[in-house]
């Protein structure tokens, strides 16, 4: 199948009361794992590439691999830029063939975030690409983006209402207590804030930093209106953990296939598990 914008996937998720998993990819094996898991679960899926992934693999490779993976399965696949921080970067991804982009102006004052988001939307809408934006700062580190705990703040519901009304963005990432990277303790999500935002904002809500959030908390967030859930760290943990096991068991192993094959299989399993938690299994 051809790549589709996330707006198509999230519209169906809204109608069905589930969320679509957005899984970060950095190399061929992880792209293959995402596609395999989605096909086996009969689930729509979002492949995400962050600035770090694009820098590592190259935008041409990321786009080509995603297109190839999508063409080999018969479930809907979106290719999405995760945490784009400039107009120029989002345009580069759109020109390369991404079906969706995120413009993250959350570090900017509200008015500047709105203006930047509208600038990206003006171009993206003209070519059928959907746009995610962010309001509120999500703590932690993701590739080149770092937000100190002291600088992280939760999304204000009234600001979210204004932001969506003035931009018309397709999806909104909000800060309600999640963080990028590994958690030091168990995260506590502000469900009351999520409910207030959802009551004021009639578009799909996105939950970033979801690796390590307890399953029941994820399910509750989805019940309250989250329609896109981002997973990266859990995939890295499973992938690298499998590599370490092979090398520990067989320290003389030099065939990359014998190391990366089990890592890919481990990634498939964690992605399948997340898809089932999100409720999108069987929805393709």
32-73 confidence digits (pLDDT tens) = 999 999 999 999 999 999 999 999 999 999 999 999 999 999
Relative to beta strand 145-147, strand 179-180 is: unpaired
Contact 154, 193 (CB under 8 A): yes
Distance between CA 276 and CA 169 in Å, rounded? 28
pLDDT confidence of residue 150 = 43
**pLDDT band per the 50, 70, 90 thresholds, residue 212:** confident
Q: What is the dihedral of CA 276, 99, 208, 139, to 10 degrees?
A: 160
Concerning whether 82 is annotated as a catalytic residue, the answer is: yes
pTM above 0.95, yes or no: no
What separation in angstroms does the CA of 284 have from each of 157, 207, 265, 269?
32, 21, 22, 19
CA–CA dist 102, 124 (Å, integer): 11
CA dist 217 and 118 (Å) reads 32
Mark 59-92 as b/e (b = at least 16 C-beta within 10 Å): bebbbebbbebbeebebbbbbbbbbbbeeebbbb
Q: Which residues lie closer than 8 Å to 14 by C-beta, 6 or more apart? A: 204, 227
* Residues 278 and 21 sit within 8 Å (Cβ to Cβ): yes
Q: How far apart are CA 274 and CA 76, in angstroms?
A: 17
The token pair that represents 176 in the structure block: 């309600």
- At 207, the pLDDT band (50, 70, 90 cuts) reads very high
CA 3, 61, 171 angle in degrees (round to 5)?
Answer: 40
The catalytically annotated residue of 82, 104, 156, 232 is 82
How many whole angstroms separate alpha carbon 34 and alpha carbon 47? 7
Strands 45-50 and 130-135, sheet pairing: unpaired
Structure tokens at 10: 């999230």
Helices H / strands E in the chain, number of each: 11, 11
Per-residue pLDDT averaged across 206-226, rounded? 93
- HSE-CB at 191 with a 13 A cutoff on CA atoms is 11
Q: 278 falls in which pLDDT band (50, 70, 90)?
A: very high
Sign of torsion, CA 216 217 221 226? negative
- What's the whole-number mean pLDDT along residues 97-101? 98
DSSP character at residue 197: H
The per-residue pLDDT for 152 is 58
- pLDDT digits 0-9 by tens, 140-161: 444 554 444 544 589 999 999 9
Asked whether residue 185 carries a pLDDT value surpassing 90, the answer given is no
């Amino acid at each position: 199948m051809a790549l589709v914008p996330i707006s198509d996937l999230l519209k169906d998720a809204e109608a069905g009361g589930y969320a679509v998993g957005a899984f970060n990819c950095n190399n061929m094996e992880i792209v293959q794992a995402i596609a395999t898991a989605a096909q086996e679960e009969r689930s729509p899926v979002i492949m995400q590439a962050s600035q770090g992934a694009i820098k590592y693999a190259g935008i041409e490779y990321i786009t080509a691999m995603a297109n190839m993976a999508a063409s080999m399965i018969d479930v809907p696949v979106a290719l999405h830029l995760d945490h784009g921080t400039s107009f120029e970067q989002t345009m580069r991804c759109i020109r390369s063939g991404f079906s969706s982009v995120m413009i993250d102006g959350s570090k900017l004052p509200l008015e500047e975030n709105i203006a930047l988001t509208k600038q990206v939307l003006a171009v993206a809408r003209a070519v059928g690409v959907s746009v995610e934006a962010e309001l509120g700062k999500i703590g932690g580190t993701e590739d080149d983006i770092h937000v100190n705990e002291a600088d992280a703040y939760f999304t204000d519901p009234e600001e979210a209402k204004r932001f969506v009304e003035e931009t018309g963005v397709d999806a909104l990432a909000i800060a309600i207590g999640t963080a990028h990277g590994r958690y030091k303790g168990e995260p506590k999500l502000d469900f009351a804030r999520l409910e207030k935002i959802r009551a004021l904002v009639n578009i799909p809500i996105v939950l970033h930093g979801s690796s390590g959030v307890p399953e029941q908390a994820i399910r509750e967030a989805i019940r309250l209106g989250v329609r896109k859930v981002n997973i990266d760290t859990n995939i890295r943990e499973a992938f690298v953990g499998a590599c370490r096991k092979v090398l520990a068991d067989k320290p003389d192993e030099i065939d990359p296939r014998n190391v990366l094959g089990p890592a890919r299989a481990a990634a498939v399993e964690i992605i399948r598990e997340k898809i089932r938690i999100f409720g999108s299994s069987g929805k393709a």
